[in-house]
Structure formats: structure tokens, C-alpha cells
Amino acid sequence: MTIERDSTSQEHPPKQKNAKSHAGGTPAVASALKHVMKTAGPVRGTKALLDLNQTDGFDCPSCAWPDPDDHRATSEFCENGAKAVASEATTRQIGRDFFLKHSIDELLAQSDYWHDQQGRITEPMVLHDGQDHYQPISWDAAFKLIANELNTLDHPDQATFYTSGRASNEAAFLYQLFVRTFGTNNLPDCSNMCHESSGTAMMQSVGVGKGTVTLDDIYQAETIICIGQNPGTNHPRMLSALEKAVENDAQIIAINPLKEAGLVGFAHPQKISGMLGKSTRLASQYLQVNLNGDFALLRALGKEILARKNFDTSFIDEHTQGIEDYRRQCEHSNWDTLTSISGISKKEIQQLADTILRGERKLITCWAMGITQHRNAVATIREITNIHLLIGAIGRPGAGLCPVRGHSNVQGDRTVGIYEKMPETFLAELDREFDLNCPRKHGYDTVESILAMHDGDARVFFALGGNFLQASPDTHFTGKALSKCSLTCHVSTKLNRSHLVTGKTGLILPCLGRSERDTQNEGDQFVTCENSMSIVHMSRGKLKPSSPDLLSEPDIIARLAEATVGNRERINWRWLVGDYDRIRDLIERIIPGFNAFNRRVREPGGFYLPNSAKQRTWNTPSAKAVFSAADLDQIQVGKDRLILQSLRSHDQYNTTIYGLNDRYRGIGMGRRIIFLNPKDMKARDIAPVSLVDIISYWQDGERKVENFYAIPYDIPRGTAAAYFPEVNPLIPLHSTALESNTPTSKSIEISINPVP
């Protein structure tokens, strides 16, 4: 079985043009409309766009950046949000005929791009042991099959239940309730591969695992650092907020090994000036840091601030602990080491210090995967916090920490219990409310789930959304792990590679998408999501469901729960999903901050969940915010090796490939490419756009992917970049961030060999 088919069917070299100097503008509008009209058609497409991100419409499934509290434009979405909606609202469909026509092997030979192009899955499908085609199965039979598998395990811990971050609060709450009633905490999620490092670090430093700022803070900030993040592609609506901040005299600092167009400048696609191609300059200082050089850069910045004695003594005295150890670390570190590791000169770091120390020192730091997916990610995020603590830039207007979340409800899923290590207070509340005896043993996270499946310790894999095979590290190993299961089951909207590498039995349970009307016993329902700034708000789909046989995610979970664990005195699963207000009432009873949930979420725009660090209350053991004094810990690679990061192109949503271009980076018609520094290419005799194989190294041996086009690019020497998920086969399963166990998708030791 070959599972590592290229993500695209690329036989021709990609086209390379100059990278763009700003994001947005008319090309963004044109690209958005093209995708929507082509895939969803004028009627369905236009309706979807008019509802997108409106207070009474549905939440954009593309990212977790918040919508303005007031003054929403009729087009409160971005190019990439429109592509996500087009992909979901497509009029194309696949059902029994499609699966009868295409065998598993045929489907495996197609690219991820092709898979997404086929359309929405319309009915439940099963792949029986030994068969090479999926067949239709009734919903009842599907639930019976899963319940039977689950109930014949020796122990509930032999099943693992993944969640991708699109699930609503209602679906996620019900899901974790079912899983814990069944008897396990095996609730891995995409967050394990995403912002886990942020949550881990922030809990240690400031006692809360979420960002502490609102959009108003962004507008009021004097300095905004965007580090390890590419908002022009992944959070395009953030650019409007940054533009507004710049108009209010904020300085934006970009810290990124690549010159990303969206950080350099922005032409607002919904403003006349933007349409005419006039762009606002965003970053006033662009630091092209070495890959994984951020810790050294931040340590140097702290050293500089301490040397200037320009810190906030009263904040430090009243609110923090540990400054002495941190100061010692800064004093002992040496400028030459810090500048050579970071690749940023002392002068540039001093200029950065000048910027953040001006005015009232209202600093916000925004970060994403460029920080969280390294071995030292947790320590680096604590180092970001150190800078904020030094100048008291947290818990006051215009200042704070802003981990920019990926999936639109990944933060909400955590809030309502999707976590393999939920705290005792939460579990005790579940026990009390539902008269349960929730397991206390921590469950498997994503990497541990893969290992458990591989070792035969987990035998049933269930996924609420996502594309586990392609999103996980070490695609080959993960594929083997999944195929050792007795049952793998996916609740999905679209076909993906995870459906094709199954356990003995494979199931696909097709569900409604965000944009679609969800009708239950008591009428049409809405769901709720929590965005990156802790605003809980409603999302109501209005499009006609793409097939009458689809069920909503909450309904699927309720039926599965009923079939597996049955109703209990205090849980009537099917009754709960008759009206999602009933599920929200339960969330209100269990989770702090949700008081009057059903009333408040109906107010336009929703409501903020409380954030202790924003109030300068520190839920740490010492009740203080904690300075971190970690040792400098830098990835080292062998001679002639490079460090590779895997990132997103402009035409994809994680593993869903919308198209083959990466417009801002100047790449056309290709994904199987590797960006390299021209000098590194020359030193290896690699010609531009020639083919190379990439080999990665880890203690357990080598991994290889073949036939990537080498693209000369403005990237620090000794580093490389290629697209996720094409290079996931290179990421060793055991190469994870310390403390958060997040795969190190941004630092992979590699070498490249020209293809003879």
C-alpha cells in the first residue's frame, strides 16, 4: 500500500515569479470570487458569503481571528475564508456511485487536491475487512457497528477519540461527555500539534492558557510584534486590525525567517485605496531571524532592557516572582552567542528595544506556528512573556499576549473539555452533575495515540473532523498505526486521505457543514464558537444541506452515545440534541464564565469569557506571574545539514488543498517544492528548479521524500522551507517540543541530494 502519494499530481516544474511586497488588494477579491463562483455557483455562493461572519450568520471556518464587536462590513471575510466556504458549500457531491466506481487503491493514487475537488460526501459509507470499495451503510447499522467494537474492547482506554478544531462547543461538549462516560480520557486533538506549547507555557507563566487581549487592545497598542506567524495567508482579517493599529501610530515589528508579503504591507481589499493597489506599510522593522533563533533574540532583548534599567519595578514587585534568576541568565549570556544564533545584530536588537520602550510601553506580541512547533517552543513562549513582565505589558489596555489560534473553534473545544488532561475541578463537576465516575488517568495526546495504535494498545480510532493521517508527523508510521486498528471512523464533510488508510473496518460518517441549516426536533438550531480572543458567539448555517442524509455533529454523537453507553438517569442523549439550548444549559452548569449562556450568546456578537491574567490575577502556584530562567537551548544540526520548516501555502487550509499557487511567495502551479538560500544551493551544485530528494535525520534513522523542485528564495542560510503536508513523512514521531509534546514541524534536520 502506498499512502505517500504526492499531495498534488505534479509532473511539471512550478513557475516562479518575484515574491509580492504586500498582501490583499484586488487580486485577493478576484481570487475569492473565482473560488466561490466556480465551486458553489452564483446563488449558493453569494448566499454563503452574505451570511459569513454576520452576527446572525455562520462563523467562518477558516481561522479563529475575531470579528469586530461592531461595524461589521457586509463582506466581513477574507480571500481565504471565501475559499474555505467555497470548499464546503460546493455543489459537487460524492455518494455510493463514486465509491463503487473508485477502489481504495485508485483513490490513494490521487492527490489531496483531487480529493477535495470531488465534493461533499452524501451518505454514511463502510469499508469492510478485505474489501477494496466503500459501500453504503445505514446510520443505525453504523452506530451499532461502532458500539459493538467499543463495547467488546478489554478496556475503554483501547479507544482514542480525536477532535479537529472545527467542532462547535455543543458538539465538543457532548463528545467529551460521551467519551468520559464510556470511560477514557483519550481525547487527542489538533491543538496537540498546534498551540499546545502556548497553553503549556502561558499556564506556567501567567496561569491562563489563552490570549489576554481584545481587538480594542490591538487598536490601542503602541507596538505589535508578529513573531512566527504569516497572517497575510493564515489570518488575513488580522491585517485590517494591524492596518488600523498603524493608522493609530502603532509600530509593527515582524520577526520571521521569510519576508512574508502580508507583514510587509497590506492593501485593504474592501477600501477604495486598497482596490487601487495603494498599500499601507505594516512592519516598521523586519527581523529575518534564523529558524528557531527566537529564543536567543528574545533573551538578547531582555538583556538590553535590563541593562538600560528601564523596566517596570512596581509591576515586577507587586505581580511577579523569579526576576533574579532571569536577570542572572541574561547577564551570563553573551551578545556574540545571542546574535550569532538569532542572526540579528546588536544594533537591530537595540532598535527593537527603543521601539517597545517608548511611550506607555503598550506592547502586544502575536505568535503562531513559527514559535510553537520547535523543540524549545515552551521555553521560547515563556521568554516572550518575560519581556511583557519586564515592562508590565499585560493586563492593561493596549498590552498583552496574543497567541493567534488556528482552527476557528480550537480554543472553544478546549474550554468545553476536549483535552486528555482536563483538570480535576472539571472532572469533579461532571461527576457531580451527571452522577458519573469519570476516569482520572490522563489520556493519550496525538503522538501518544499514534504510538498506542502502532503498539496495539489502542484498537479503535474515532475522529470528529480533521485529517489525522495527513496532519500528523511521520505519515508512514501513522498510516501503519491506523491500519493496525480494528476500526477507524471519521466524521467528515469531504473526502480525505485518512479515509483511505483504515483499520480492519473503516467508516465515514458525513456531517453538516457550518454553512448549512441544522434542523432538530425543536426546530432550526445554531451552535457556538469561541474565537482567539475568548469571545463566545453564535454560528447559524442557512444553506440547504448538501444531502438529506447528513446528520449534524451533535446528533451523530448523541446517537453514537445512545448506542454505546445508553441513556442514564441524568443524560438523555437524543433529548439533549432536540434543542441545543439544553446542551448550552449543561455547559453553563459545568464551566465557569458561561452564566446566562443561552441569553448572552443571543446578543449580537456574543460575550467575552473571563480571563484572569487580563485582570492581573495569576492562577499559578505562587499567585504571581513567573519569570522563566530557562537555559538557551538551540537546535544543532550536523555538518552540511539544513533545518527545514514546514509551512502553509496561500492555497490550502491545513491538509485541504484549494489550489496549486502560493501567490504572495510568487509560486505558481506547484507544491512539491523546497525553498532554499541561493548560496546553499550553489554550495551543493543544485540548479534553480532542479529536482532534489530530501532526507531527514533522527536517532532512529533516516526518512526520505523524493522529487522536490529546489527554489532559490530569500531565506537565512542553513535553513529551508517546504509545504505541509507534503513533507510530513520527514517529521520523526519522537521529535517533539519539550513539555507540550507538539511535533517539531518547524525544525527538521535534513540534507538534500540532487536527483541524478
Q: Between 23 and 153, whose beta carbon lies closer to ligand MGD? A: 23
Whose cell is 524549545? That residue is: 376
Q: Which residues between 708 and 747 bind ligand MGD (CB under 6 A)?
A: 724, 728, 731, 745-746
Query: Is residue 194 close enough to count as binding Mo ion by CB under 5 A?
Result: yes
Site string for ligand MGD, 621-660 (x = CB under 6 A): ------------------------xxxx---xxxxx----
Which of residues 57, 66, 228, 395 is near ligand MGD by CB under 6 A?
228
| Residue 496 binding target from ligand MGD, Mo ion, none, CB below 5 to 8 Å by type | ligand MGD
Q: Is 62 in the site for ligand MGD (CB under 6 A)?
A: yes
Shortest CA distance to 217 belongs to which of 400, 360, 355?
400
Q: Give, for 669, the enclosing helix (H) or strand (E).
A: none
Q: Report 126-185 residues binding ligand MGD (CB under 6 A).
A: 164-166
DSSP letter for each residue of 424-439: HHHHHHHHHHHT----
Asked if 466 touches ligand MGD (CB under 6 A), the answer is: yes
Instruction: Please give the residues from 79 up to 98 whose contact with ligand MGD meets the rule CB under 6 A.
Output: 80
The verdict on 22 binding ligand MGD (CB under 6 A) reads no
CA 687/CA 754 separation, integer angstroms: 9
Q: Which is nearer to ligand MGD, 496 or 628 (CB)?
A: 496
Tell me the CA end-to-end span of the chain in Å, nearest whole number. 26
Give the three-class secondary structure for 234.
Answer: helix
Q: Which amino acid is at 17?
A: K
664 binding ligand MGD? (CB under 6 A): no
252 binds ligand MGD (CB under 6 A): no
**Number of residues binding to ligand MGD, judged by CB under 6 A:** 60
Residue 163 pairs with which residues in a beta bridge? 189, 464
Q: 42-51 and 79-89 helices cross at what angle (nearest 10)?
A: 130
Residue 257: is the preceding peptide bond cis (ω within 30°)? Answer: no
Neighbours of 702 (CB within 10 A): 12
CA–CA distance, 419 with 209 (Å, rounded to integer): 13
* Interface pick for ligand MGD out of 194, 349, 377, 487 (rule CB under 6 A): 194
To ligand MGD, the closest distance from the beta carbon of 376 in angstroms equals: 10
Report the partner that residue 503 touches, choosing among ligand MGD, Mo ion, none (CB closer than 5 to 8 A by kind).
Answer: none
Strand residue runs (E) in 256-380:
265-267, 280-281, 283-287, 320-321, 363-367
**Is residue 514 at the binding interface for ligand MGD, with CB under 6 A as the rule?**
yes
CA distances from 113 to 124, 278, 381, 643 (A): 22, 33, 34, 27
Options 156, 406, 729, 743; binder of Mo ion; rule CB under 5 A: 406
Task: Name the one range near ligand MGD by CB under 6 A: 37-45, 125-133, 221-229, 312-320.
Answer: 221-229
Provide the total of helices (H) and of strands (E) in the chain, helices listed first.
31, 33
85 binds, among ligand MGD, Mo ion, none (CB under 5 to 8 A by kind): none
Residue 258's binding partner out of Mo ion, ligand MGD, none, with CB under 5 to 8 Å set by partner kind: ligand MGD
Q: Site for ligand MGD (CB under 6 A): which residue of 31, 110, 233, 751?
A: 233
* Phi, psi dihedral angles at 362 (to 5 degrees): -85, 100
Which amino acid, one-letter code, is at 432? R
- Counting Cβ atoms within 10 Å, is residue 435 exposed (0-12), middle (13-18) or buried (19+)? exposed
- Which residue matches cell numbers 510530513? 728
**Among residues 153 and 474, whose Cβ is nearest to ligand MGD?**
474
The binding site for Mo ion (CB under 5 A) comprises 194, 406
The binding site for ligand MGD (CB under 6 A) comprises 62-63, 80, 164-166, 190, 193-194, 227-230, 233-235, 255-258, 260, 289, 291-292, 294, 368-370, 373, 406-407, 464-468, 471, 491-494, 496, 511, 513-514, 553, 645-648, 652-656, 724, 728, 731, 745-746
